[in-house]
Amino acid sequence: MRESNDHASPFADDLLVFSDGSSSSMSGISEVLNVFKSILGLDMNAAKSEIFFSGYTEMEAAALSSQVDIKEGSFPYLGLPLSSQRLSISVMQPFIEKIRNKLNSFTVRFLSFAGKIKLVSSVIYGMVNFWSQVYSLPKAFYTKVDSMCSAFLWKNKTDSASGARVAWRDVCKPRSEGGLGVRNLHEFEVVFKLKQVWNLFANSGSLWVAWMRGNIFGRRGFWATPDSPRFSKTIRAMLQLKPFIATFLKCEIGNGVVAAFWWDSWTTLGPLIYFVGQSGPRMLRLRLDAPVKDAVRNGNWQLPNARSDAVQALQIHLTTIPAPSLTGGEDSFLWRLPSGNYSKTFSSKGTWEQLRIRSQRLPTRDRLLSWGMNVPEVCPLCSSDRETHDHLFFECSLSHDLWEFFAARLCRQTAASSMVSVLAAMLLPPVSSSAHTSTLMKLLLQVTVYALWRERNARIFTTTTTTLSALKNVVDRTIRDRLLSFPSLDGTPSLLESYFACISYPL
């Protein structure tokens, strides 16, 4: 289209034509459409065409619309809210009403509880997930949708969920954890943001990827581009996910042109900027955004002499990796699956399962290592296995023995070996005939977890080490002190008396 900034892109059954909005550009578009008509005999249907403006006043938009004789369109387009400004809850109001109308259309029908769950998880959440894949939606929007869905589920209306039998956050847990399998919108949004980053690395044929690489990350690349208020909310969300991405994304080296030497996980050492340290670019004379090919000369790895133990370990490791070559093909990116293997395709379900595993808030050593911190990985309680949340509660030999000692006496059931199995066992009918068994087990779980975490921190930050026998006394004393505040009011045995009936002394 002449020498203008016009671009055409086919989308679904439509043709999108982008213009800079100048009068000459609009005239050029009309001229091209007329030439197209004269050659092929196909004419544009002006009655079915619309023109959209961004950043123009109503008067300017009306003038340009009349120039090309095409009516001005209104948002949304193809179900998506198009706006030159940050999406707010007011912009999303038409979509909230759309969801409300969809739910209201089913309130007059006799849907079973299972039918309502299916409607919410597939239809309503499917609509929201479609929008979430494109935009960073405001949290208030997710909150409003959750409120309407909760009201529909429990009250068969959409006004208020007040008095709901179960909190929505519990409904959104997997069935194995006592929920109904509905995915939490707030949390699942992270999956869609990660998918956008995956497309940036792996979907090189996309028009969106080409635009992002040319206009946003063209100069410094994704990894070396810092977060900035000048970016849109979507781009800032992508940049803020860098710590997550490093744990999921892996690069297979071909020619080394695309793979980032310092940031991409192209070795088993992970991102080298964390392995070597921030002084790495200076010591190895490779800039922060350097590709892997910059470390190769004449088909061999070419790095300065090692000036630290980390650099020496890196150079030794590189001797086991073939240097990239121009005949090696393009670099390719892989995404981690829950099994630990890597795939060339992105899995939303697999990513969500891994994020749920990493949703534990305790800073165990496996999480600290994933953040790039230089800490030992061994469990400080047993000094034998890698410390993770699951290992600490209750795969570790010390924590397992401590829990088993009390659990076997309170409920007379075989002690479980993980937190999930412990919670599952607590939901089963107690073997003991005591009416207080369930309450005592809940208190035991709280006290045991607290005691183990304190002991874990004491062994890391001080020289104090408590034996298993002493930990038993700590747990026992804490439980007894807490139960003293719950006397019996109806003549039945108190919680403390029920506890003493199960525990014999000395421990």
**What is the tens place of the pLDDT at every residue in 344-358?**
999 888 888 777 644
Q: How far is CA 473 from CA 217, 468, 503, 506, in A?
A: 59, 9, 12, 9
pLDDT at site 504: 86
pLDDT in tens, 451-503: 999 999 999 988 889 999 999 999 999 999 999 988 887 778 888 988 998 88
pLDDT in tens, 167-179: 888 888 888 777 8
Contact yes or no for 440/498 (Cβ under 8 A): yes
Cross-strand bridge partners of residue 7: 18
Residue 441 in this model has a pLDDT that exceeds 70: yes
3-state secondary structure of 384: coil
| Reported confidence tier of residue 76, pLDDT bands at 50, 70, 90 | low
| Torsion sign over Cα 175, 180, 184, 188 | positive
Q: How far is CA 175 from CA 3, 128, 170, 171, 446, in A?
A: 59, 22, 10, 9, 23
Contact yes or no for 188/129 (Cβ under 8 A): yes
Tokens 């061999």 found at: 300
Burial of 345 (0-12, 13-18, 19+ CB in 10 A): exposed
End-to-end Cα distance, the chain = 87
Compute the distance between CA of residue 181 and CA of residue 175 in angstroms, rounded to an integer.
5
pLDDT at site 460: 92
Compute the distance between CA of residue 202 and CA of residue 333 in angstroms, rounded to an integer.
6
Contact yes or no for 87/138 (Cβ under 8 A): yes
Residue 432 in this model has a pLDDT that exceeds 70: no
Tokens 């892109």 found at: 9
- Chain center to CA of 437: 38
Tokens 């999480």 found at: 367
Contact yes or no for 191/351 (Cβ under 8 A): yes
Contact yes or no for 276/283 (Cβ under 8 A): yes
3-state secondary structure of 13: coil
pLDDT in tens, 80-108: 666 666 778 887 888 888 899 989 888 77
Indicate the average pLDDT of the chain.
83
Tokens describing residue 474: 């700590």
- Long-range contacts (CB closer than 8 Å, 24 or more residues apart) made by 231-235: 232/86, 233/86, 233/87, 233/136, 234/135, 234/136, 234/196
Instruction: State the CB neighbour count (10 A cutoff) for residue 247.
Output: 15
Least Cα distance to 79 among 143, 123, 128, 121 occurs for 128
Highest averaged pLDDT of the listed ranges 4-13, 203-212, 388-397: 388-397
Compute the distance between CA of residue 257 and CA of residue 370 in angstroms, rounded to an integer.
26
Cross-strand bridge partners of residue 335: 249, 343
Radius of gyration of the chain (CA): 30
The DSSP H or E segment spanning 294 is: none
Name, in order, each residue with C-beta under 8 angstroms of 252's C-beta and a sequence gap of 6 or more.
266, 331, 332, 333, 334
The DSSP H or E segment spanning 343 is: strand 342-343
Burial of 496 (0-12, 13-18, 19+ CB in 10 A): buried
Hey, what amino acid is at 269? L
Compute the distance between CA of residue 13 and CA of residue 44 in angstroms, rounded to an integer.
13
- Choice among 25-34, 66-75, 111-120, 138-147 with the minimum mean pLDDT: 66-75
- DSSP codes of every residue in 459-471: HHHSS----HHHH
Q: How far is CA 45 from CA 29, 111, 446, 499, in A?
A: 15, 44, 69, 82
Tokens describing residue 277: 């340290």
| Reported confidence tier of residue 418, pLDDT bands at 50, 70, 90 | confident
Least Cα distance to 179 among 112, 107, 121 occurs for 121
Compute the distance between CA of residue 288 and CA of residue 301 in angstroms, rounded to an integer.
18
Residue 274 in this model has a pLDDT that exceeds 70: yes
Compute the distance between CA of residue 175 and CA of residue 430 in angstroms, rounded to an integer.
21
Taking residues 298-304, what's their average pLDDT?
90
Compute the distance between CA of residue 323 and CA of residue 300 in angstroms, rounded to an integer.
6
Compute the distance between CA of residue 391 and CA of residue 74 in angstroms, rounded to an integer.
56
pLDDT in tens, 225-251: 888 888 888 888 889 888 778 778 899
Q: Where are the alpha helices (DSSP H) in 156-271?
A: 168-171, 185-202, 207-215, 221-224, 233-239, 242-248
Q: What share of the chain is helix, strand, coil (3-state, %, to 5)?
A: 50, 5, 45
Taking residues 58-86, what's their average pLDDT?
72
Compute the distance between CA of residue 138 and CA of residue 233 in angstroms, rounded to an integer.
10
Contact yes or no for 445/420 (Cβ under 8 A): no
Tell me, yes or no, if the pTM score tops 0.75: no
